[in-house]
Structure 1
Amino acid sequence: MNELQLVLIVGGTILLGIELLVLGGTTLVITIVGVSMYITALALFFVKASPLHAFTALTIVTPIVTIVSWKPLKALQDRTSTAHVESDFANITFILKSNISPTEFGHHRYSGIEWNVKSPQTLASGTLVRVIAKEVGWLTVESVD
């Protein structure tokens, strides 16, 4: 192993380490360049090359790696969880201060934030309700029987 291969391997390792440990796999560009550095270092086992040739090889290998790996890496990155997360926040109860219905919304102050309150059913002011769902700025409630 010559010094040029070592530089490519160490550089690729640093880039992949930053990508995975610091950025959490969010930028595909750094991953692709890191993998390309590994491939170029591997190719230098078979060909004696100057730094200029190695840089040229890296410049050629990087777009090839991009084309080959873009869809699989993008699919990994786009994977999201749709699981419903249950939290203490979803189980709070309070007394309504105004009437609400599917077309009429109320408000409730919780944890220093003024929330919009909605319900699929009509509920009168003074009804004890509990939160059954939450969205950005909205609490969906139902009557506590």
Structure 2
Amino acid sequence: MSASDTVTLTDVQTLKASAQRDDSEGLTFGPVDLSEFAPQITFDFFGRDKDTPERQCARITVTAEAAVGSFEVQVAGLFTMPDAESLPEAEGNQLLEQALDALFPFVRAEITDVTTRVFNSGLLAPPLDFSGQLAKARRRPPKRAS
């Protein structure tokens, strides 16, 4: 990739930040053990206009459920970057992965905020490197309907 092939995050919006605490066994104001959460992370790209192909939106969604409750965070970012579809696949994937890497810290912050407010114990999601994730996602066979 050349020096002109850069990704610039121009806007970030939280689309959803929700959590639900299971209080079926009584409500406590003490912190909850969040170690049992196993999050599911999905991402997609959308909103590219044919007149401005250098502007692209990305969305990352993180959901998790455990005995103590559940949460969902969805954050979208608007990026200025070269048209990934006009580049060779490997270079296009690298640009899109850079966009996801730039957006994920905002997702982490929302996860910490919503889990702190609802569970009285903040979940600090680890940093995530999206390198190679697009190629892996494309190699997976599609799920069959049951």
The structure whose RCO (Cα within 8 Å, separation 6+) is larger is 2
Query: TM-score, normalising length from structure 1?
Result: 0.26
Higher share of residues assigned strand: 2
Query: TM-score, normalising length from structure 2?
Result: 0.26
